[in-house]
Amino acid sequence: MSPAHPDVELAERLWSAVAEGDADTLAELLTEEVVWKVSGTHSLSGLYVGPDRVLEYMAGVGEAADTLQLDLTRVFVNDEGAIIEYRMHAARKGKTLDTTVLLRLEACDGRITSGLVVPIDQAENNAFWPH
């Protein structure tokens, strides 16, 4: 059996850090120039540049939801990065969201240079999050 692709390990480290709320590890995994794009038309969508802004976005997702559960489904990799597929279960202000989200990561030298967050059902996602 061959060893895991380095981007699988990077994606798993990122996922573990998010699940544990480990901001120090998250910051280590992001380059200083990281660019994070969140698709949509809600208040959390947009472009976040730099590790501090990306961490603020991640914290903002948790703060905007009354409950939030993220379940890793799959990780796909190639030599340029990874795609993390996960289920998002969330509730806020009497509304619920149960959707699949794709997170595309680009990496260089074991650190994340960019992320793109795209839910499978963008309209449902837009309706759920605050505007």
Supply the mean pLDDT for the chain: 94
Full-model pTM: 0.92
Answer yes or no: is 1 within a domain. Answer: no
**Residue 3: is its pLDDT beyond 70?**
no
The confidence score (pLDDT) of residue 105 equals: 96
Q: What is the pLDDT of residues 35-71, one digit of tens each?
A: 999 999 999 999 999 999 999 999 999 999 999 999 9
Q: For residue 63, what is the domain's CATH number?
A: 3.10.450.50
Instruction: Spell out the residues 6+ positions from residue 28 whose beta carbon is closer than 8 angstroms to its own.
Output: 111
Answer yes or no: is 58 within a domain. Answer: yes
Q: Tally the domains of the chain.
A: 1
Q: What is the DSSP string of 50-100?
A: SHHHHHHHHHHHHHH-SEEEEEEEEEEEETTEEEEEEEEEEEETTEEEEEE
- Section 79-87 average pLDDT: 91
Enclosing domain of residue 56: 6-128
Answer yes or no: is 31 within a domain. Answer: yes
Answer yes or no: is 104 within a domain. Answer: yes
